[in-house]
Structures are given as structure tokens and as C-alpha cells.
């Protein structure tokens, strides 16, 4: 009775169909296990963070009146730059990120109006959360076979990679769009972009030319043997620029598109693997960002950028199926929330614990304050032996039979892949 009374549901999970819950639950469990093991972000682990101001331009033509992105408004803002996989050497080729937090109170970094996650490259390599899960577990040969029928996925992978001399000299894109609701009741799809204030720095800055069908795992690409720069030179450059009289400046751009009436057209518009035609839907410059203060590593580590942080005027587009384009943004918000709580040792809500408990990968939540303590022998070995039909894991649009699996200690990102092969996960 107590559990039922205190159990707060997460509507993001409740509105998912069974297949969506299965795919996302396994994905969340794998990332949770990895987060508990490394006690840090899995992707975009290292980087540089600064605080400053977003000043919106007055009288931007062609844009209806909007409560948040209103003419002449100013907001305190936090920008965190990062490498996607490279956690020890900035010279590695890697996608680079720019997470933006728009604050409602300049004295409280936790009081935010909106969180936006941007990266280099105009598109992402997975259209849905099901596609993303499939991509993580399949091998190089399967990925190469996939891009033969979808060359735009190959382009998305290569276009995201950047050789960087400075975080401040790159262009960053949201890839995923949001729903804007204007004061007059009109609704539009919107994507975000951050460009350097210096117009001479073009979109191809740091671009990497393809050398194979798909790039290798970026976290393992070594730096050039003649490169003598410090390991974390991007962080050093960021701090130097912020502390200079010029500071770091960006221009915030928005790309608007009417919400299509036809469902098929809407799916195409929400497809993050294909950028919108900039001639038909041009970027509009709406404001400037100036970063004036460097945050400490500890302050940066505690930040919890939440893709689901939104408001009525800038909303997340929901999905009920893992095969819908909107599931990429909707689904990842659940994984972000769970992993951030575990990383910062915060109590895990019952709805999220239950979500993890129903996955095929069991996670040792002893590090979580809300977790029920497990017997020591149970931590060492948990057997997931059930009839194969109950072990069916849905990836993308295919049902895969999952044989008997033994999980020892923590899971990992490879857990889902090994489980499908019936191997031992260590």
C-alpha cells in the first residue's frame, strides 16, 4: 500500500507501447550500469563550461511573437562544450558538443527554462531510438551493410567528426527539432544552431574527409604523431578566450518549418538523419551569446542537462513507438534523467527503478540511495533464465529471440549485444 501511494508515474514511460518500453528499458539499463561503473557521463565526459548572457535581437522579421524568444529579451545562459567519446585527448578526431542551458535566474544554475543539446554535423546517424539501439549492438560489418542502403547515414557519421583547434571555431546543430507555440496560437517545428560570431569561420571548419565506408571508433583514433599540443588543449583554449577582453561570442540561429498536416510528411520532417533544405527553410539569426565566466570542473560535473526540460512554448514532440522519428528525442530524455541521477548519487524515483527492473539487463543499484539492498551473493550472479518467447528483445522493427543469459556483476553497453548471442556478460 505504501509503495502504491508513493509511486509517482513518469508519463513519458506510461505513454510508450510495449515494444518501445522494451527497447528503451534495455538501453537505459546498459547506460545505467556503465554510469555506475565509471561514475561519470558516458558520452561527452570531458569538456569546458562557461556562463554568460543570451541577448535576443529586437524586431526579427518574419517571426511571430513568442513568450520565450521575445524581441529584445536577455537571459543568463550556460554553455558546455565537450568531446563525444574522447575522454583523455582533445586531439582525437571526434564529434564536438555544445549543450545550452537558458536560465530564469542568474544566481541559480539549477533554475532553467530550457536545455538544448547541439553537436557538430547537420544530422544524426539514427532516425529513431530503435535504430540507435540497433546501431550500438551490431558490429562493423552490419553497420557497413546498413549504410549501403542509407548513404545519408554514412554522410551523417562523417559530417559529425571534427578536427578542432578551438571549441569556439565550430558550428553546432540541434539535429532534433522542437515544437514552438507562438502567442497567436500558431505552431511550428524549430531547429537550433550556434555559429561563431566571426562570419569568416564557415561551416566546414575542422571537417574530416571520409577515408572509408564508416569512420572508426573515434575514442580510439590516436592523435597525429607530430601533434605536440597538451592533452586538454581545447579546455585551455576555452579558458583563455573567456578570460580575454573579447570573450567568446556566438550567434544563435533558428530554423522554422510549418507543422505538416499529413502524418507521413510529419515523420519526414522529424527525421534527424536528414537536414532540412536551407533554401526552403533558411536559418534566422535571433540573438547573440557571450560567455564571460568559466565554471569549475566540479560545477560542470554537477550540471544535469535534460533534453526533456521544456515549457509550453518550446515543447518536446512525443512518441508512443520506438519506430517513430520523435522517439529519438523523447526516448533519450528518459535515459538522460536516469543516468544523471545515478551519476550524482540522487534518489532514483520508483517509476525509473521499476523501468530498469523490467529490462533484460539487471543493474546493481547498490550505489543508488533509493535502491533496495541486495544480498551479496545475488550481486555476483543473476540468472535471466526464462522461456525464449519472454526473452524476446525488440530492436528496431525486428523481434530477436534472446537465449539464456548469465549476467555477472555490472552490465555494460555490450550487454545487449552479448545477450542476443547467448554469451556471458562480465
pLDDT at 290 over 80: yes
Burial-class residue 308 by CB neighbours within 10 Å (0-12, 13-18, 19+): middle
Burial-class residue 21 by CB neighbours within 10 Å (0-12, 13-18, 19+): buried
Mind listing the pLDDT tens digit for each residue in 225-253? 888 999 999 999 999 999 999 999 999 99
Does the model's pTM come out above 0.85?
Answer: no
Total domains present in the chain: 1
pLDDT at 288 over 80: yes
Please indicate, yes or no, if residue 414 is contained in any of the structural domains. Answer: no
Burial-class residue 188 by CB neighbours within 10 Å (0-12, 13-18, 19+): buried
Per-residue pLDDT averaged across 97-117, rounded?
82
Please indicate, yes or no, if residue 239 is contained in any of the structural domains. Answer: yes
Cβ neighbours, 10 Å, residue 395: 24
In terms of DSSP bridges, do strands 47-56 and 283-294 run parallel, antiparallel, or are they unpaired?
antiparallel
Going by pLDDT thresholds of 50, 70 and 90, the confidence category of residue 220 is low
pLDDT at 108 over 50: yes
Region for 2 from its dihedrals, namely left if φ exceeds 0, alpha if ψ lies in -120 to 50, beta otherwise:
alpha
Please indicate, yes or no, if residue 14 is contained in any of the structural domains. Answer: no
- What pLDDT was estimated at residue 239? 95
| Cell, residue 283 | 536559418
- Which residues have C-beta within 8 Å of that of residue 140, sequence separation ≥ 6? 214
What end-to-end distance do the CA atoms of the chain give, in Å? 37
Find the DSSP H helices in 324-398.
327-343, 350-357, 376-380
- What pLDDT was estimated at residue 275? 96
Find the DSSP H helices in 39-77.
none
Angle of helix 140-148 relative to helix 151-160, nearest 10 degrees? 120
Mind listing the pLDDT tens digit for each residue in 328-338? 999 888 888 88
Cα–Cα dist 80/304, whole Å = 11
- What pLDDT was estimated at residue 107? 63
Please indicate, yes or no, if residue 65 is contained in any of the structural domains. Answer: yes
| Cell, residue 155 | 554522410
Nearest to 413 by CA among 25, 33, 22: 33
Helix (H, G, I), strand (E, B) or coil at 234: helix
Per-residue pLDDT averaged across 112-121, rounded?
91
Please indicate, yes or no, if residue 399 is contained in any of the structural domains. Answer: no
Please indicate, yes or no, if residue 217 is contained in any of the structural domains. Answer: yes
How far lies 163's CA from each of 209, 218, 237, in Å?
10, 11, 14
**Considering only 300-304, 324-328, 420-424, which range has the smallest mean pLDDT?**
420-424
Please indicate, yes or no, if residue 214 is contained in any of the structural domains. Answer: yes
pLDDT at 301 over 90: no
Per-residue pLDDT averaged across 192-199, rounded?
96
DSSP annotation of 227: -
Region for 194 from its dihedrals, namely left if φ exceeds 0, alpha if ψ lies in -120 to 50, beta otherwise:
beta
Per-residue pLDDT averaged across 387-416, rounded?
40
Cα–Cα dist 7/43, whole Å = 30
- What pLDDT was estimated at residue 175? 94
Which has more pLDDT, 269 or 374?
269
When computed from its CA atoms, the radius of gyration of the chain, rounded to whole angstroms, is 22
Cβ neighbours, 10 Å, residue 126: 19
In terms of DSSP bridges, do strands 248-258 and 283-294 run parallel, antiparallel, or are they unpaired?
antiparallel
Please indicate, yes or no, if residue 136 is contained in any of the structural domains. Answer: yes
Identify whether the C-beta of residue 54 lies closer than 8 Å to the C-beta of residue 75: yes
Average pLDDT, the chain: 80
Residues 343/34/332/15 CA torsion (nearest 10 deg):
-90
Dihedrals phi, psi of 393, to nearest 5 degrees: -105, 130
Per-residue pLDDT averaged across 191-216, rounded?
92
> Domain range spanning residue 273?
41-336
Cα–Cα dist 173/114, whole Å = 16
- What pLDDT was estimated at residue 365? 62
CATH number for position 255: 2.40.180.10
- Helix, strand, coil percent values for the chain (each to nearest 5): 30, 25, 45
Amino acid at each position: 500500500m505504501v509503495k502504491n501511494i508513493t509511486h509517482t508515474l513518469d508519463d513519458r514511460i506510461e505513454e510508450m507501447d510495449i515494444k518501445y518500453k522494451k527497447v528503451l528499458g534495455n538501453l537505459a539499463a546498459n547506460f545505467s550500469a556503465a554510469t555506475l561503473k565509471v561514475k561519470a557521463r558516458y558520452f561527452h565526459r570531458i569538456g569546458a563550461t562557461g556562463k554568460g548572457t543570451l541577448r535576443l535581437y529586437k524586431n526579427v522579421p518574419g517571426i511571430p511573437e513568442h513568450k520565450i524568444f521575445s524581441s529584445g529579451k536577455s537571459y543568463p545562459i550556460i554553455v558546455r562544450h565537450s568531446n563525444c567519446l574522447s575522454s583523455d585527448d582533445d586531439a582525437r578526431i571526434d564529434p564536438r558538443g555544445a549543450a545550452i542551458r537558458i536560465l530564469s535566474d542568474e544566481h541559480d544554475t539549477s533554475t532553467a527554462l530550457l536545455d538544448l543539446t547541439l553537436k557538430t554535423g547537420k544530422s544524426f546517424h539514427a532516425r529513431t531510438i530503435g535504430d540507435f539501439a540497433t546501431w550500438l549492438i551490431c558490429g562493423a560489418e552490419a553497420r557497413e551493410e546498413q549504410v549501403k542502403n542509407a548513404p545519408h547515414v554514412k554522410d551523417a557519421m562523417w559530417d559529425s567528426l571534427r578536427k578542432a583547434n578551438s571549441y569556439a571555431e565550430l558550428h553546432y546543430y540541434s539535429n532534433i527539432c522542437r515544437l514552438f507555440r507562438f502567442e497567436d496560437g500558431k505552431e511550428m517545428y524549430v531547429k537550433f544552431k550556434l555559429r561563431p560570431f566571426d562570419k569568416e569561420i564557415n561551416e566546414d571548419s575542422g571537417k574530416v574527409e571520409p577515408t572509408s565506408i564508416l569512420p572508426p571508433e573515434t575514442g580510439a583514433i590516436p592523435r597525429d604523431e607530430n601533434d605536440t599540443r597538451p592533452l586538454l588543449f581545447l579546455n585551455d583554449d576555452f579558458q583563455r578566450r573567456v578570460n580575454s577582453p573579447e570573450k567568446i561570442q556566438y550567434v544563435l540561429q533558428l530554423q522554422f518549418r510549418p507543422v505538416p498536416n499529413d502524418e507521413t510528411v510529419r515523420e519526414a520532417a522529424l527525421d534527424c538523419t536528414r537536414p532540412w533544405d536551407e533554401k526552403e527553410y533558411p536559418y534566422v539569426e535571433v540573438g547573440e551569446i557571450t560567455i564571460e565566466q568559466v565554471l569549475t570542473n566540479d560545477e560542470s560535473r554537477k550540471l544535469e542537462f535534460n533534453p526533456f526540460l521544456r515549457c509550453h512554448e518550446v515543447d518536446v514532440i512525443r512518441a508512443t513507438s520506438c519506430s517513430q522519428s520523435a522517439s529519438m528525442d523523447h526516448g533519450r530524455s528518459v535515459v538522460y534523467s536516469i543516468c544523471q541521477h545515478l551519476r550524482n548519487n540522487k534518489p532514483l524515483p520508483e517509476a525509473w527503478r521499476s523501468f530498469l527492473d523490467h529490462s533484460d539487463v539487471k543493474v546493481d543499484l547498490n550505489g543508488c540511495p533509493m535502491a533496495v539492498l541486495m544480498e551479496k551473493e545475488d550481486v555476483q550472479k543473476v540468472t535471466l533464465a526464462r522461456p525464449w518467447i519472454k526473452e524476446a528483445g525488440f530492436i528496431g522493427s525486428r523481434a530477436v529471440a534472446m537465449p539464456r543469459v548469465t549476467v555477472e556483476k555490472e552490465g555494460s553497453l555490450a550487454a545487449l549485444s552479448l545477450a542476443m548471442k547467448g554469451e556471458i556478460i562480465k
